[in-house]
Amino acid sequence: MNAIPQALESEVISAPAVSDFSTRRMKGSRLAYGGVLLFTFAYFFRPEDWTSLARFMPLALLGGGISILGFVIAFMQNGGLVRSQEAKILLALLGWFVILVPTSHWPGGTFAVLSESIWKIVVVTIIMTNVVDTMTRLRRLLIIQSFAMLLLAWVSRDSFDAGTGRLEGASRAFGNSNDLAIMIAVTIPIVLYLVISSSNYLLKALWLGAISVMVYVIVLTLSRAGFLSLVVAMAVLTWQYGVRGKKFGITLTAAALVLGTFAIVAPGTYGRRVASIFIGALDEDGLDRDARGSRGTRIELMKRSVEETLSHPVFGVGPGQFQEFSGSWHVSHNIFLQFSSECGIPGLAIFLALLWRTRKNLIESDRVFTTLFSKEWLLAGALRASFWSLMVGALFANFGYVFFPYMVFAFIACLNQMSRLALGEQAEATPAEAPAAG
């Protein structure tokens, strides 16, 4: 176990390691973890998108049921939750969605969002943050996500929209070009972690190849949000591994791989499309029609989202209902405006509280896992890059009611739980000082 920094020694020694759930593992959690594994596999690989047989064997439902059953059993054995802070915020979010059903512009549509996605997100995320308490368990989930995103990128490489020429996801759930590019960009830091932390050179080579495929697909989606997410991810990784870890060779290799892939596959108009993020007024030859139209539409949707937030500040128009108010049947394309316009200011505040807690989890993990290039330190850096990449991508995506961002939050909470376990083990191993003789 990594050494605990001197600055935390007093906290460690005084920590109530025996009675505090935050420094204990949840006993009897194997069944719940098995359900989480199955659910995660079903969510990312989407077997129902590839074969009709999966409709008769819903793996996600089965995995969710197993995880809930296992968690109830473990909860009864342990007498409480391990990760209570995240659970409180998530349960507050669930409770607010229940309140929003009768106040919604269309209660039936809001109830569908609640029953089909939100309650599942909340329950599975709470279970994950309680039962994924070892690096082995967490690493398995990371591998599932990374391999699934690689597979999706590979099978999508020839799926182009005939009108725009943009690559789209081959999966029905992950078909949107921007959503696909953002999800891949968020996953790339995790794949780089797998490259560095693996002791098998063949696996290192395979994961490096996976990064090339992922970058290739991001480029062909022509997604400016995906591009920005990737840039932020690489910037954070450079800071973590290059500046803080003083291993510039790793970051230079990753940067060369990304830039080389861009140079090979990026179309000639890619630079102009990226420039349209920052430049609104270019002549006809300076900016392609799709980029101009997309940018203008998003600005109008942002304005409309703000208007609806101001018109319905408490309850919003109802989860899933903004499309009707947009005037063009489009979503907000911004997770923060999605929450404010559809769930009101209180809903946005709850989501921001979850983000704040997640950022705090990153900081706490960083204070404990200080051994450079230990697997915990490497993963902390990768998840930090994924988090900020997601935050940038979320400015251009409606991710509020899908599981993907909450999976990232859960990964970070699980790593911080391991840091708390490290503190608890250190406290138990530290002998109490004998009282001075009188």
Render pLDDT for 219-249 as a digit per residue (tens, 0 to 9): 999 899 999 999 999 999 999 988 888 777 7
Residue 338 · residue 331 · CB < 8 Å: yes
Type of residue numbered 42 = A
**What does the pLDDT read at residue 50?**
72
Averaged pLDDT for residues 337-366: 96
**What does the pLDDT read at residue 244?**
85
In a domain, 174, yes or no: yes
CA distance 176 to 133: 33
Averaged pLDDT for residues 121-125: 94
167 forms beta bridges with 160
pLDDT tens-digit map of 2-27 = 444 444 443 333 333 333 445 567 77
DSSP state of 334: -
In a domain, 388, yes or no: yes
**What does the pLDDT read at residue 329?**
74
Percent of the chain past pLDDT 70, that is, above it, reads 84
Residue 293: phi and psi, rounded to 5, are -65, -40
Identify the residue with better confidence: 72 or 100: 100
In a domain, 25, yes or no: no
Distance from the Cα of residue 176 to its chain's centroid: 17
pLDDT tens-digit map of 275-299 = 777 765 454 454 555 555 566 777 8
Q: Which of 318, 394, 381, 303 is nearest to 355 (CA)?
A: 394
pLDDT tens-digit map of 357-394 = 999 999 999 999 988 888 999 999 999 999 999 999 99
Q: Sign of torsion, CA 333 170 189 225? A: negative
Domain count, the chain: 1
Identify the residue with better confidence: 170 or 398: 398
CA dist 421 to 1, 2, 4, 5, 415, Å?
Answer: 10, 11, 12, 15, 10
Identify the residue with better confidence: 162 or 335: 335
Q: Is the pLDDT of residue 264 over 90?
A: no
In a domain, 207, yes or no: yes
CA distance 432 to 438: 18
Q: Is the pLDDT of residue 38 over 70?
A: yes
pLDDT confidence tier of residue 343, bands split at 50, 70 and 90: very high
DSSP state of 402: S
Model pTM?
Answer: 0.87
Tell me the two tokens of residue 362.
Answer: 């990153």
Residue 227 · residue 218 · CB < 8 Å: yes
Intra-chain end-to-end CA distance of the chain, in Å: 37
**What does the pLDDT read at residue 11?**
38
CA distance 26 to 193: 27
**What does the pLDDT read at residue 331?**
86
pLDDT tens-digit map of 173-227 = 788 899 999 999 999 999 999 999 998 999 999 999 999 999 999 999 989 999 9
**Mean pLDDT of the residues in the chain:** 84
**What does the pLDDT read at residue 39?**
93
**What does the pLDDT read at residue 263?**
77
**What does the pLDDT read at residue 62?**
86
Residue 3 · residue 371 · CB < 8 Å: yes
Q: Which residue has the tokens 């999800």?
A: 183
In a domain, 80, yes or no: no
Type of residue numbered 282 = L
**What does the pLDDT read at residue 283?**
47
CA distance 344 to 331: 16
**What does the pLDDT read at residue 56?**
63
CA distance 225 to 182: 7
Residue 189 · residue 237 · CB < 8 Å: yes
In a domain, 61, yes or no: no
Residue 136: phi and psi, rounded to 5, are -65, -45
Residue 20: phi and psi, rounded to 5, are -85, 120
**Parent domain of 316:** 142-402
Q: Is the pLDDT of residue 413 over 50?
A: yes
**What does the pLDDT read at residue 256?**
81
In a domain, 271, yes or no: yes
Residue 167: phi and psi, rounded to 5, are -70, 140
DSSP state of 19: T
Alpha carbons within 13 angstroms on the beta-carbon side of residue 294 total 19
CA distance 85 to 398: 25
pLDDT confidence tier of residue 427, bands split at 50, 70 and 90: low
pLDDT confidence tier of residue 253, bands split at 50, 70 and 90: confident
CA distance 393 to 178: 9
CA distance 94 to 294: 33
Residue 47 · residue 61 · CB < 8 Å: no
In a domain, 90, yes or no: no
